[in-house]
Amino acid sequence: MGYLVNRLIMTVITLFVILTVTFTMFRLMPGDPSVFFISPQMSTETIARIKAQFGLDQPIHKQFTNYLGSILHGNFGHSFFYKRPVLEVIGERLLNTIVLFLPAAIISYLVGVGLGRYMAWKRGGTSERVLIFTGLSFWTFFVPWLGLLMIWVLSYKFGLFPVGGMITPDKWLPGSTLLGRALDLLHHLVSPLVCYVLTWFAGNMLIMRNSMLETIGEDYILTVRAKGLSERKIRNKHAARNAILPVVTAFSMSIAYSIGGCVLLETVFSWPGIGRTMVDSVLLRDYPLAQASFILIATVVLVANLITDILYAYLDPRIRY
Amino acid sequence: MEMKKMRTIVIVTMLLCFGMVTALVIPSSAMAKESTVKIGLVMEPQTLNPLSAESEQNWHIIKMIYCGGYIDPRGLYAYTPKSLEWIPYMAESMPQWLDDKTVVVKLKKGIKWHDGSEFTAEDVKFTLDFFGEFEAANYYNTIDMLEKVEVVDPYTIKFHVKEKTTLLYYRTFMTLILQKAKWSKIVTEARKNEAPQKYIFNYVIKNPVGTGPFKFVEEKQGQYILLEKNDDWFLKGQTISTGDGGSVTYGPFVDRILFKFYGNLSSAVLALKGGEIDTIWHGLDAAFIPELKKVKHLTVSTKPYYHDVKFAGFNLREKPLSDKMFRKALAYAIDKDFLIKRLLQGYGTASDAIENPGLEFWYNGNVENYFRGKSEASRYSKAISILKEAGYTWDKEPKIEGSRVIPGVGIKMSDGKKVRTIEIITRTQATNPQEAQSAILISQWWKKLGVDTKTNLVAFPTLINNVWWENKFDVIVFGNIIEPYPVHLQYYFDVKEIYQYGWNVMAYKEDRYQKAMYDWLKVFDWDEARKGAFRLQEILADDLPHIPLFVLKNIHAYNHTRFKGWIEQYNGVVNKDSLSCIRPVK
Amino acid sequence: MAVLELKSLEMSYKTQEGTVRAIDGASLRVEKGDTVGIVGESGCGKTSIGLSILRLLPPNATIHGGQILFKGQNLLSLSGKDMRRIRWKNISMIFQAAMNALDPVYRVGDQLIEALVEHQNLTKKQASDKMEAVFQLVGLDPGRARNYPHEYSGGMKQRAIIAMSLICDPDIIIADEATTALDVLVQDRILASIEKIKAEFSMTMLYISHDIAVISEVCNKIAVMYAGNIVEHGDTMSLFKAPLHPYTQGLMHSFPKIHGKLERLEGIPGEPPRLTDSSPGCRFFPRCQQSLKKCNSIRPEFKEIEENHWVACHATRRSL
Ligand SMILES: Nc1ncnc2c1ncn2[C@@H]1O[C@H](COP(=O)(O)OP(=O)(O)OP(=O)(O)O)[C@@H](O)[C@H]1O
Ligand SMILES: [Mg+2]
């Protein structure tokens, strides 16, 4: 319990620091967001009045406290660019991102762990060499290239999957069945998901393999083998179960790391997720949106960390108390 | 092991089968039978609120719903589709001037808003009063020459103006008109709000109501916007002369327009080639032309792009850039043909005047062109002699040896002071590659004259800040908005636009230009107006507050096997008129 | 019929330095109810014998000669699957590294039950009853069965391992240094409970240790191992009274002084040979004070010299 509270307090402090840093960072950059709602032909007074309405005339520290205040009330302000409440901009896109990345992350994790497990077990075979080579090739592949290649082959040449996007509007009109909609969504999901899995499984795979090689040498593995357990049980129930621990830690790190990949993937596959919006918000000096995005990323990373810690404690009885 | 292999093969096969099944077996429901034009956009629109929408992509959608607006000059009046003369649009006839300060406009009867209510003079008055009250940024210029708007009867409006100028036509008479019924509620709420402008600006329009050829159906943020045809459109079935001898008949003849957003141009192009979309409205660049031309079902069209004449503009507030002779020398050093050939791969047209060469009626091709097309040696020797004549000296003078230019070093003004480093500011390579690369090339050319030049590539807000708001810059490489009527000859160069946020960032204030320009604004005769515009372009080419560079070609490609009847206009083949006129190929 | 019998077993490890002939002819008999001790210096191949019996040798090891007979059946000719059935159910093993022999992520009790359900069709209840019974047998509180290995002391872990080795009622238990890592007091207590269990169930054991004192306490028969060979094998009494092999003699000579590790024999000068060297003669020859000429060139046979007393020495035969 104390452990959890501690972690939560740390999380909140980290969030606050990130908030402060992003807030000041954006304001130190040259350029002024009022470019969005001021016309060069307006008089100076008009401009001053409009700026005041957006709170841009106040000194920075005042803007900051105002901002903190409204965040505490759950109000992240209006996006300068999209001209709507930030939460409205983020909400649906975040959901879209989750629809793609949660399954993708889990699958690439499972594939990686599964292959790593297999490789360690069949150490030294050609399959190991082939897997390492392909895994690392995909790993180093630049996501946009791989993505475009996939689109070119699968969507353009063979017409198997849509070029991009998340749904085909035709198939979501009133009157379409739920099954039809679900299939359509899945149909769009396949390529970006496969692209993600291809580029990311190698990391998990190699960590799992190394960790697995270590555990295979442990004495308790010899014991379970002496106990007459089948190879499959030894591998899955004992060796992999112990080897997974470092991989779990790596998982939260890879979540943070893959946010960059998420932006690229969404761009290539025209996935209407949050990644692209976040990057654009920074480029366009859309402070409210950019800040909310940063808080969001920070929260995701911190929550992922928290979950990993909890999961780790659950998986490893040695640190449970 | 064998099991594993089998499983992988099975999974992959299943995936592929799944792809095929979903691609083939579930046919699209309703839309398959109807005709839907699918348009790919690379940047998604921000908002459907016409008060705060600013990007061009955004306007492509809004202008299909409304009539008139920011970059859609079709309000009460419009331009003929090809010859670009003024014609009545939602108005019934051309404006009648009662005296120099009063003009009456009669509206067409029977124009309907999308909700079925009638469009009347009340809507026009409401809209203009509203723009005035809320100082709407994008519409500010529509009301600044108005004194008062008066509704005479539901179809007659009387405008009281400050002066009788052509400004009124291309600003006020072509502006977007909002529906009073819908917006007066919003306005009432805004007035109660402590930040009324902010309230309006951030107002989320969920269901826009206009008088345009298409009605709004549905929006999915970041994914698509769907419009359907407006059978009650006031131009439906009408045949209008294009002004060049031809004519068009308005529909709309297609059932729907689907605007679909792609995260990147390459995917959108693949979607176009694969038939997933019928056209891409914006942003195709020259690199894609060869592969698009190879696709049988596509027609590729290139037109000089009316919207954007690239230029290098000078800050005339300080020496040496305030010296006209110095600017002329710099102009000689620029090789526009090289920019077109190498940078744009031929997909651009050099411009000598601040006007789009594609708008032949207005473009004055006979202004001073600073040895465009001549050899490097002759251009530089001219530039050097001008500088020498004006009293400039060098640490090491640039020289011409045969056809080669030996660069100079350390140019000094006539008072012996060193010319400080000249900075060319422009947008980043990623935002606007043509501008950025032009700036880099130009700085190389100027260096050869011994002028120390560097480029500063910045984000757009930084550019606005440094140039328009703080006026801290030397040279800017940027694009001028060029409208079908040469409006920019006024607002980019008017002395009245010299203030902190003004359009005339160069602080250009030559008397002869100002006088000629004000006279020109009062000319309503089309041919006289043309002569005036030619004279203005001539003066500008001599004074050189701007060095015009080129216009890009607007590259469009569309699927001619699905829809026919596209109308090629000054701004490309994918335009509002095309979409209102195309029919499905049966 | 002997429960377990090794017949001139030979195995080696491939290493970068060369082939390590870790077992170079080892013969041994374990009758039902016997506790046979294998004693020898560190590195002489004791553990390798244990692992060979269960066929749990690492991949770099090969058995290239001899037989391992379990109730008359040669384990070396069994299929992997059949061998798996014999493990733990018929032959269980207490490993030298008992501290890490339990999987850290599972409850100790569950690990015992896992072995049980693998080999016997039991209900959950039956399995956990059996588990509690063996817990009590080795002197562990069955309430601690729900704990994880890291919550156990070293002694408790050792007891848990012993309990685990008992849980399937195997025909024979191989105990490899079952108590060596523990302090003397704990060691004594555990030895006492092993004694008790042995007496109660007439267990058959192969007890491996380099502590001759422990061996003498626990075992009724002893096999003395030197550099991959079993050099002498007989019942404890006769071995102590009249050791025949010069190496055993040296070993016994030093016995009264030691109650602990047999790292090096003070009684015998010199060092054991490197197992990578292969000489045709007796492995002990370089250190032997009673050696004959042929000892250097001919490996002595392992012969039953008295009833149930085998020895491999040219000199011994002559002395008879
Ligand atoms: N996996 C292995 N690979 C290579 N050589 C090995 C391996 N395991 C053991 N050996 C070698 O085989 C010989 C016998 O080792 P073993 O572990 O059987 O000795 P031991 O008698 O059990 O020693 P200790 O009393 O120290 O446990 C030693 O020389 C050792 O170095
Ligand atoms: Mg050992």
d(CA A68, CA B306): 46
One DSSP character per residue, A263-300 reads HHHHHHTT---HHHHHHHHHHTT-HHHHHHHHHHHHHH
Quote the ligand 2 centre to C145 CA distance (angstroms). Answer: 28
CA separation for the pair B21, B12 (Å, rounded)? 14
Contact C76, C67 (CB under 8 A): yes
Burial class (CB in 10 A: 0-12, 13-18, 19+), C227: buried
Q: Is C7's Cβ below 8 Å from some Cβ in A?
A: no
Share of chain C above pLDDT 70, in %: 94
Q: Residue B154: its pLDDT value, please?
A: 92
Minimum CA distance residue for ligand 1 atom 14: C45
Instruction: Identify which has the larger pLDDT, C263 or B94.
Output: B94
Q: How many CA atoms lie within 13 A of B150 on its CB side?
A: 10
CATH class of this structure's domain B68-184: alpha beta
Contact A316 C104 (CB under 8 A): yes
| Chains B and C lie in contact, requiring 3 or more CB pairs less than 8 Å apart | no
CB contact under 8 A, B137 and A269: no
- Chain A CB contacts of B461 below 8 Å: 30-33, 35, 284-285
Answer whether A30 sits within 8 Å of B466, measured CB to CB: yes
- Residue of chain B minimizing CA distance to A111: B8
Beta strands in B184-292 (DSSP E): 214-220, 224-229, 239-241, 247-249, 256-261, 279-280
| Superfamily holding B30-66+212-297+560-586 | Periplasmic binding protein-like II (3.40.190.10)
B402-451 pLDDT, tens digit per residue, is 888 999 999 999 888 999 999 999 988 877 888 999 999 999 999 999 99
CB-based pocket (< 6 A), ligand 1: C 13, 15, 20, 22, 40, 42-48, 58, 60, 96, 210, 275
Q: Flag whether residue C82 sits within 8 Å of chain A, measured between CB atoms.
A: no
What per-residue confidence (pLDDT) applies to C319? 46
**pLDDT of C172-223, one tens digit each?**
999 888 877 677 777 888 888 888 888 888 889 899 988 888 888 888 899 9
A162 and A155 Cβ atoms separated by less than 8 Å: yes
State which ligand 1 atom lies nearest to the alpha carbon of C228. 14
For ligand 1, atom 7, name the residue with the nearest CA.
Answer: C13
Whose CA is closest to B43, among B282, B291, B306?
B282
Chain B CB contacts of A269 under 8 Å are 263, 267
Which of A32, A34, A39 should be substituted to probe chain B, the one whose Cβ sees the most B Cβ atoms within 10 Å?
A: A39
Indicate the residue type of B382: K
Rg (alpha carbons) of chain A, rounded to whole number: 24
Looking at beta carbons, which residues of chain B come within 8 Å of A176? 29
| Distance between CA atoms of residues B57 and B61, nearest Å | 7
Please report the pLDDT score of residue B312 as a whole number.
95
Task: Count Cα atoms within 13 angstroms, Cβ side, for C190.
Answer: 23
Give the strands of the sheet with B96-99, arranged side by side.
B96-99, B102-106, B156-161, B146-153
Query: ω into residue C272 within 30 of 0, thus cis?
Result: no
Q: Which residues of C touch A220 (CB under 8 A)?
A: 100-104
Instruction: Inform me whether the pLDDT recorded for B556 exceeds 80.
Output: yes
Q: What percent of chain A has pLDDT over 90?
A: 3
- State what percent of residues in chain B have pLDDT above 90: 50
Question: CB–CB of B222 and A154 under 8 A?
Answer: no
Cβ pair B270:A155 closer than 8 A: yes
Residue B522's pLDDT is 92
Q: How far is the CA of C265 from the centre of ligand 2 (A)?
A: 17
Q: What would be the CATH architecture of the domain defined by B308-553? A: Roll (3.10)
Query: With an 8 Å Cβ cutoff, is C146 touching chain A?
Result: no
Structure tokens at C118: 């693998």
Q: Is C100 on the interface with A (CB under 8 A)?
A: yes
Domain locations in chain B as residue ranges: 30-66+212-297+560-586, 68-184, 308-553
Rounded Cα–Cα distance for residues B23 and B59 (Å): 33
Inter-chain contact A229–C118, Cβ cutoff 8 Å?
A: yes
Burial class from Cβ neighbours inside 10 Å (0-12, 13-18, 19+) for residue A65 reads exposed
* Record: contact C56-A222, CB cut-off 8 A: yes
Pairing of strands B256-261, B36-41: parallel
pLDDT of residue C317: 55
Beta bridge partners of C19: C14
Q: Taking the CB of residue A142, how many other CB atoms lie within 10 A of it?
A: 10
Q: Which residue of B has its CA nearest to A77?
A: B202
User: Taking a C-beta distance cutoff of 8 angstroms, is the pair C175, C94 a contact?
Assistant: yes
What is the rounded distance in angstroms from the CA atom of residue A69 to the CA atom of residue A142?
Answer: 42
Of C89, C101, C102, the CB nearest to A228: C89
Confidence band, pLDDT 50/70/90 cuts, at residue B1 = very low
The verdict on ipTM greater than 0.90 is no
DSSP B30: S
Return the amino acid letter for C109.
G
**What pairing do the DSSP bridges indicate for beta strands B563-564 and B583-584?**
antiparallel
Ligand 2 center–CA C96 separation, angstroms: 6
Gap from CA of C305 to ligand 2 centroid (Å) = 29
Strand C221-226 relative to strand C229-235, pairing: antiparallel
SS3 C83: helix
Q: A220–C119: do the CB atoms touch at under 8 Å?
A: no
> Would you state the structure tokens that stand for residue C1, as one six-digit string?
């019929």
Ligand nearest to the CA of C263: 1
A177 min Cα distance to partner chain B (Å): 10
Q: What is the model's pLDDT at position C320?
A: 43
Separation of A226 CA from ligand 2 center, angstroms? 16
Instruction: With CB atoms and an 8 Å threshold, state whether C148 touches A230.
Output: no
Residue C256, pLDDT > 80, answer no
CA of residue C210 to ligand 2 center, whole Å: 9
pLDDT of residue A69: 84
Tell me: pLDDT of B475 over 90: yes
Strands B102-106 and B96-99: antiparallel
Ligand nearest to the CA of C41: 1
Give the span between the Cα atoms of A147 and B270, in whole angstroms: 12
Q: How far is C138 from chain A (nearest CA, A)?
A: 19
For residue B297, the Cα-to-chain-centroid distance in whole angstroms is: 28
Where does the pLDDT of residue A52 fall: very low under 50, low under 70, confident under 90, or very high at 90 and above?
confident
**Of A248-252, B76-80, B194-198, which range is least confident?**
A248-252
Specify the pLDDT at position B454: 92
User: Ligand 1: which of C6, C9, C10, C13 to mutate, most ligand atoms within 8 Å of CB?
Assistant: C13
Mean pLDDT of C260-268: 55
DSSP, collapsed to helix, strand or coil, labels residue B377 as helix
| Chain B residues with beta carbon closer than 8 angstroms to that of A168 | 28
- Which architecture does CATH list for A97-273? Orthogonal Bundle (1.10)
The partner residues of C122 in beta bridges, in order of sequence, read none
CA angle, corner B87, sides to B82 and B92, nearest 5? 145
Which residue from C10, C47, C208, C264 has its CB within 8 A of the most atoms of ligand 1, so it is best to mutate? C47
| The two three-digit tokens of residue A147, written as one number | 């993505």
Q: Is the pLDDT of residue C6 over 60?
A: yes
| Distance, CA of C181 to chain centre | 15
Say what the pLDDT of residue A45 is.
67
Burial C11-42 (b: 16+ CB within 10 A, else e): bbbeeeeeebbbbbbbbbbbeeebbbbbbbbe
Rg (CA), chain B: 27
| Alpha carbons C12 and C18: distance in angstroms, whole number | 10
- Most confident segment among A78-92, B11-25, B411-425, C275-289: B411-425
- The burial of B404, by beta-carbon neighbours within 10 Å (0-12 exposed, 13-18 middle, 19 or more buried), is given as exposed
Domains (range + CATH), chain C: 4-90+170-312 (3.40.50.300)
> Mind listing the pLDDT tens digit for each residue in B147-186?
999 999 999 999 999 989 888 888 889 888 999 999 999 9
Q: Which residue has the higher pLDDT, A298 or B18?
A: A298
Interface test with B, best of A145, A148, A160 (most B CBs within 10 A): A160
* Chain center to CA of A22: 19
Radius of gyration of chain C (CA): 20
d(Cα B216, Cα B198) in Å, to the nearest integer? 25
Nearest to A32 among B52, B204, B461 (CB): B461
CA distance B31 to chain A (A): 6
Q: Are A285 and B226 an interchain contact pair (Cβ–Cβ within 8 Å)?
A: no
pLDDT over 50 (residue C258): no
Cβ atoms of C267 and C254 closer than 8 Å: yes
Cα A215 to Cα A224: distance, rounded to the nearest angstrom = 13
Closest Cα partner for B23 from C77, A106, C79, A161?
A: A161
The residues near C128 (Cβ < 8 Å, ≥ 6 apart) are C109, C113, C145
For residue B429, list chain A residues with Cβ-Cβ distance below 8 A: none
Q: What pLDDT, on a 0 to 100 scale, did the predictor assign at position C17?
A: 84
- Does residue C264 register a pLDDT over 60? no
User: Average pLDDT for residues A150-170, to the nearest whole number?
Assistant: 85
Q: Which residues contact B542 (CB under 8 A, 6 or more apart)?
A: B367, B368
| Phi/psi at B466 (5° precision) | -70, -40
How far apart CA C142 and CA B303 sit, in angstroms, is: 89
Within chain C, strands assigned E span 4-15, 18-30, 35-40, 61-70, 73-74, 91-94, 172-176, 205-209, 221-226, 229-235, 303-306, 309-311
Confirm whether pTM is higher than 0.80.
Answer: no
As given in the structure block, the two tokens for residue B122 are: 């009340």
Q: Hey, which of C11, C44, C179 would you mutate to test ligand 1's pocket, going by the most ligand atoms within 8 Å of its Cβ?
A: C44
Q: Mean pLDDT across the stretch B353-366?
A: 89
Q: Do chains A and B touch (3 or more CB pairs under 8 A)?
A: yes
Closest ligand to the CA of C61: 1
A37: pLDDT strictly greater than 90: no
Instruction: Answer whether residue A217 shows pLDDT above 90.
Output: no
The model's pLDDT over B365-407, given as tens digits with 9 standing for 90+, comes to: 999 999 998 999 999 999 999 999 999 999 999 999 988 899 9
Closest ligand, as measured to the CA of C21: 1
Q: For residue range B566-580, what is the model confidence (pLDDT) as tens digits?
A: 988 877 888 888 999
Residue predicted with more confidence, C282 or B397: B397
List CB contacts (< 8 A) between A321 and chain C: none
Q: What is the Å distance from ligand 2's center to C247 Cα? A: 19
Give tens-digit pLDDT for B25-47.
555 544 556 789 999 988 778 88
Q: Which stretch of A33-37, B319-323, C135-139, C263-267 has the lowest confidence by average pLDDT?
A: C263-267
pLDDT of C318 higher than 80: no
Identify which of A218, A220, A228 has the shortest CB distance to residue C87.
A228
Residues of chain A in contact with residue C61, where contact means CB-CB under 8 angstroms, are none
Cα(C175)–Cα(C190) distance, integer angstroms: 12
Residue C311 has pLDDT above 50, yes or no: yes
Whether the CA torsion C139, C140, C143, C145 is positive or negative: it is: negative
Structure confidence at residue B582 (pLDDT): 92
Contact: A229, C56; criterion CB under 8 Å: no
